[in-house]
């Protein structure tokens, strides 16, 4: 959280004059942060539970394509397509989880495999069915207008800083992000499964010995990250009106970075959903803020990598201090 | 005759071609401390894993209060009041004392979607329960990792007792502790016994086992060498049987023989040297 404030202050000093502080600038980075934050909150739960999911970027591409192909190519109502896409995503998440639990291989390996399998399937199937790798025209399908209300509407506020009287548009994804973060926080801190998540990440054997259904929880957590990828895919497809087989690339890594910046331990057992919210906010501010500073946005990835390493060092230092202070 | 709270008859367990337990029988009554003794690989941990529901026996019967049971998971054993506190797996260091205490058996309020972990009540109970055994936790939010080893074991024992354990299985609870902390844990074991709980104590340390134990079961290579009451077994005999007395004697003899040989060898060498000097 302090990191997010620090980044905000830095960007406010450097780029405040150029529009970073304006309402439109704020809406701009919040949109990026929201789409990342939806993923990061689910990934935070999974990582606290001691596992990784590298396949969510590919699930975003696949889930989006399922919606677009079913609705545009086969003329389905968009809601039916969205529903089927959710089911497909949940099945993929459950398969990830079951493979991890049954094979006892590191989830890093299993989901690295599914990253390529899902991306490859998405590209091959889409090209096989449509002959292209991008599918547009979602805006003309049945039920699109009602879907916009849930996934792509915006709250428009006139931006006093805009000389041309433009509105700042806050997308509904921000609402989804905060809602999911709220639910995730409640689950983590106030429910039995929340306590189990900390337990299975901290020490799966100890948790199993006191009767926690470790395997079932892990499968659920993989289904949750897959569902978060589906939500982001739906938001993107509805708001852009098209799907691309390459959507979501590297999102799995951005999400992990956001979660780690938010203070969650890579080894599991410790972390928070709120931390992931601020982690996503930090990444979003840097990604969009860098454009306001006038620095070439190619530098974003450099800064992201440096931030990740600094965040881990700082978190380790703070945790060590906290553990020693009795 | 009372029925034992826990009894196993002719239990065997195989892991592939390895015979971990071979026809072991043991019984346990309320308000007693049974010490389970034996060398590494004697089958102690396999036996307690069967008792706690982690493993299923391949042969033999397992009775709880006279009724035969077949456990599929530790949860089944817990439901019958058989709780196990493992040496290294007792607690999760990064989780708070309260969260550890209630892990797997969280207190809840509300119903359906609103069913939630009652954190406030949980914290109060943890403070009370630990207070009863003389542990003053400064903050129930405190991670367990900041507690000392003895405190951690005591919290784990307090947890088992609080959740209605009738049988408490303690796996090497004192092995990693200093004298003073081990004393704290043993005192708490005595307290649990006074409350009518049956305790199975696994330990390597005869100085911890003898003062607290009522009966002693000694395992060796998957078989039992018998169960003895304190009256039947002196401390010295117990130590001898625990550490595989005969083997130690054999080893001692061998070492002595080796020493003799070496001494003779040295003497011979000296003799030769002497001779060569004469030549």
In contact, A151 and A14? CB cutoff 8 Å: no
Task: State the pLDDT at residue B106.
Answer: 84
Q: With residue B15 as reference, give the H or E element that holds it.
A: strand B6-15
Please tell me what DSSP assigns to residue B196: T
* DSSP character string of A42-91: HHHHHHHTT-----HHHHHHHHHHHHHIIIIIS---HHHHHHHHHHHHHH
Burial of B273 (C-beta count, 10 Å sphere; 0-12/13-18/19+): exposed
Cα torsion B87, B93, B96, B99 to 10°: value is -50
**A79 interface with B at CB cutoff 8 Å:** no
Task: State the pLDDT at residue A114.
Answer: 97
Minimum mean pLDDT among A154-158, A265-269, B122-126, B175-179: which range?
Answer: B175-179
Which chain B residues contact residue A190 at CB under 8 A?
116-117, 119
C-alpha–C-alpha distance, residues A17 and A292, integer Å = 9
Q: Closest Cα of chain A to B98: distance in Å? A: 10
Between B278 and B39, the more confident residue is B39
C-alpha–C-alpha distance, residues B166 and B157, integer Å = 12
The answer to whether residue A322 is domain-embedded is no
Chain B: residue whose CA lies nearest to A213: B104
CATH number of the domain to which A76 belongs? 1.10.3470
Instruction: Identify the residue among B73, B104, B140, B169 best suited for mutation to test binding to A, counting A beta carbons within 10 A and taking the highest.
Output: B104
The answer to whether residue A324 is domain-embedded is no
State yes or no: pLDDT of B134 exceeds 80. no
Please, what is the Cα angle at A201 between A197 and A204, to 5 degrees?
A: 100
Name the pairing type of β-strands B108-109 and B116-117. Answer: antiparallel
**A277 interface with B at CB cutoff 8 Å:** no
The answer to whether residue A138 is domain-embedded is yes
3-class secondary structure, A97 = helix
Inter-chain contact B103–A203, Cβ cutoff 8 Å?
Answer: no
Which chain B residues contact residue A211 at CB under 8 A?
73-75, 78, 104-105
CB contacts < 8 A, A to B, total 76
Reported as a single tens digit per residue, the pLDDT across B213-236 is 999 998 888 888 888 888 888 888
Backbone angles phi, psi at B210, to 5 degrees: -60, -45
Other CB atoms within 10 A of residue A51 CB: 25
Q: Is the ipTM of this complex over 0.95?
A: no
Sequence-ordered list of residues with C-beta below 8 angstroms from that of A266, at least 6 positions apart, any chain = A47, A260, A312
In contact, B92 and B100? CB cutoff 8 Å: yes
Which chain B residues contact residue A265 at CB under 8 A?
94
In contact, A59 and A95? CB cutoff 8 Å: no
C-alpha–C-alpha distance, residues B141 and B99, integer Å = 8
How far apart, in Å, do the first and last CA atoms of chain B sit?
85
C-alpha–C-alpha distance, residues B166 and B196, integer Å = 8
In contact, A244 and A127? CB cutoff 8 Å: no
**A270 interface with B at CB cutoff 8 Å:** yes
Task: State the pLDDT at residue A167.
Answer: 85
**Average model confidence (pLDDT) across chain B:** 83
Burial of B243 (C-beta count, 10 Å sphere; 0-12/13-18/19+): middle
**A198 interface with B at CB cutoff 8 Å:** yes
Q: A195-226 burial string, b = 16+ CB within 10 Å, else e?
A: bbbbbbbbbbebbbbbbbbbbebbbbbbbbbb
Cα torsion A85, A88, A94, A96 to 10°: value is -100
Other CB atoms within 10 A of residue A72 CB: 22
C-alpha–C-alpha distance, residues A196 and B100, integer Å = 10
Residue among A91, A96, A50 nearest A214 (CA): A50
Inter-chain contact A265–B94, Cβ cutoff 8 Å?
Answer: yes
Inter-chain contact B94–A270, Cβ cutoff 8 Å?
Answer: yes
Task: State the pLDDT at residue A326.
Answer: 43
Distances (CA, A) of A259 to A6, A36, A173, A214, A254: 17, 10, 18, 22, 9
The answer to whether residue A106 is domain-embedded is yes
H-state helical runs in B83-178: 97-102, 119-132, 149-162
Reported as a single tens digit per residue, the pLDDT across B50-86 is 998 889 999 999 999 989 999 988 888 888 999 888 7
**A194 interface with B at CB cutoff 8 Å:** yes
The answer to whether residue A319 is domain-embedded is no
Counting the structural domains of chain A, the total is 1
The answer to whether residue A321 is domain-embedded is no
The answer to whether residue A20 is domain-embedded is yes
Q: A78-109 burial string, b = 16+ CB within 10 Å, else e?
A: bbebbebbbebbbebbebbbebbbeeeeebee
The answer to whether residue A320 is domain-embedded is no
Please tell me what DSSP assigns to residue A166: P
Name the pairing type of β-strands B6-15 and B18-28. Answer: antiparallel
C-alpha–C-alpha distance, residues A279 and B122, integer Å = 31
State yes or no: pLDDT of B275 exceeds 60. no
Residue B268 banded pLDDT, cuts 50, 70, 90? low
H-state helical runs in chain A: 2-15, 23-48, 56-68, 78-103, 107-130, 144-151, 173-190, 192-202, 204-209, 214-240, 251-261, 273-293, 300-324
The domain in which residue A157 lies consists of 2-314
Task: State the pLDDT at residue A69.
Answer: 96
Backbone angles phi, psi at B111, to 5 degrees: -135, 160
Please tell me what DSSP assigns to residue A131: S
Other CB atoms within 10 A of residue B91 CB: 26
Residue B279 banded pLDDT, cuts 50, 70, 90? very low
Task: State the pLDDT at residue B58.
Answer: 93
Other CB atoms within 10 A of residue A242 CB: 17
Other CB atoms within 10 A of residue B57 CB: 22
pLDDT in tens, chain A (326 residues): 677 888 888 888 877 777 788 888 899 899 999 999 999 999 999 999 999 999 999 999 999 999 999 999 999 999 999 999 999 999 999 999 999 999 999 999 999 999 999 999 999 999 999 999 999 999 999 999 999 999 999 998 887 777 777 888 899 999 999 999 999 999 999 999 999 999 999 989 888 877 889 999 999 999 999 999 999 999 999 999 999 999 999 999 999 999 999 989 888 888 999 999 999 999 999 998 888 888 888 888 898 999 899 988 888 887 777 666 54
In contact, A304 and A283? CB cutoff 8 Å: yes
Between B180 and A115, the more confident residue is A115
C-alpha–C-alpha distance, residues A48 and A44, integer Å = 6
**Average model confidence (pLDDT) across chain A:** 91
pLDDT-above-90 percentage for chain B: 19
Task: State the pLDDT at residue B269.
Answer: 59
Chain A: residue whose CA lies nearest to B146: A323
In contact, A191 and B66? CB cutoff 8 Å: no
C-alpha–C-alpha distance, residues B253 and B247, integer Å = 10
Other CB atoms within 10 A of residue B275 CB: 9
């Amino acid at each position: 959280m302090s990191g997010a404030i620090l980044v905000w202050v830095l960007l406010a000093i450097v780029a405040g004059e150029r529009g970073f502080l304006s309402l439109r600038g704020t809406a701009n980075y919040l949109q990026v942060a929201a789409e990342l934050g939806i993923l990061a909150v689910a990934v935070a739960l999974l990582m606290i539970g001691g596992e990784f999911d590298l396949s969510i970027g590919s699930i975003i591409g696949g889930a989006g394509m399922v919606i677009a192909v079913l609705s545009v190519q086969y003329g389905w109502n968009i809601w039916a397509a969205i529903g089927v896409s959710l089911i497909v995503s949940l099945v993929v998440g459950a398969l990830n989880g079951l493979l991890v639990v049954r094979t006892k291989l590191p989830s890093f390996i299993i989901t690295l495999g599914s990253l390529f399998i899902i991306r490859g399937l998405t590209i091959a199937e889409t090209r096989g069915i449509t002959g292209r790798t991008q599918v547009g025209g979602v805006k003309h399908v049945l039920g699109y207008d009602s879907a916009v209300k849930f996934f792509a509407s915006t709250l428009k506020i006139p931006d006093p800083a805009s000389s041309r009287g433009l509105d700042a548009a806050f997308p509904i994804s921000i609402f989804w992000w905060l809602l999911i973060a709220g639910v995730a926080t409640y689950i983590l801190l106030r429910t039995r499964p929340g306590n189990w998540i900390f337990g299975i990440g901290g020490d799966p054997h100890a948790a199993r010995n006191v009767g926690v259904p470790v395997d079932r929880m892990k499968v659920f957590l993989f289904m949750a990250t897959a569902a978060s990828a589906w939500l982001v895919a739906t938001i993107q497809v509805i708001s852009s009106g098209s799907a691309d087989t390459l959507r979501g690339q590297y999102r799995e890594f951005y999400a992990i970075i956001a979660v780690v910046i938010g203070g969650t331990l890579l080894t599991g057992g410790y972390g928070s959903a709120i931390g992931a919210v601020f982690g996503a906010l930090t990444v979003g501010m840097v990604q969009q803020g860098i454009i306001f500073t006038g620095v070439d946005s190619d530098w974003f990835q450099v800064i992201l990598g440096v931030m990740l390493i600094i965040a881990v060092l700082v978190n380790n230092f703070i945790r060590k201090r906290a553990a020693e202070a009795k | 005759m009372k029925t034992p709270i826990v009894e196993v008859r002719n239990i065997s367990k195989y892991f592939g071609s390895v015979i971990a337990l071979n026809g072991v029988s043991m019984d346990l009554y309320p308000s007693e401390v049974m010490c389970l003794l034996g060398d590494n690989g004697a089958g102690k941990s396999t036996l307690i894993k069967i008792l706690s529901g982690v493993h299923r026996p391949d042969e033999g019967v397992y009775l709880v209060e006279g009724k035969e049971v077949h456990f599929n998971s530790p949860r089944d054993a817990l439901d019958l009041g058989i709780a196990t506190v493992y040496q290294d797996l007792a607690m999760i260091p990064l989780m708070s004392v309260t969260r550890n205490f209630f892990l797997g058996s969280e207190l809840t309020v509300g119903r359906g979607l609103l069913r939630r972990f009652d954190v406030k009540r949980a914290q109060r109970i943890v403070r009370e329960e630990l207070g009863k055994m003389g542990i003053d936790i400064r903050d129930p939010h405190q991670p367990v990792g900041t507690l000392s080893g003895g405190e951690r074991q005591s919290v784990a024992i307090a947890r088992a007792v609080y959740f209605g354990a009738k049988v408490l299985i303690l796996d090497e609870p004192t092995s990693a502790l200093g004298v003073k902390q081990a004393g704290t844990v043993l005192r708490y074991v005595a307290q649990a016994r006074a409350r009518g709980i049956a305790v199975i104590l696994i330990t390597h340390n005869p100085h911890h086992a003898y003062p607290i134990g009522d009966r002693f079961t000694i395992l060796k290579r998957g078989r039992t060498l018998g169960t003895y009451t304190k009256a039947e077994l002196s401390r010295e005999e117990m130590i001898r049987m625990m550490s595989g007395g005969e083997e130690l004697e054999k080893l001692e003899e061998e070492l002595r023989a080796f020493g003799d040989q070496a001494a003779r060898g040295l003497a011979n060498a000296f003799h030769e040297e002497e001779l060569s000097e004469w030549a």
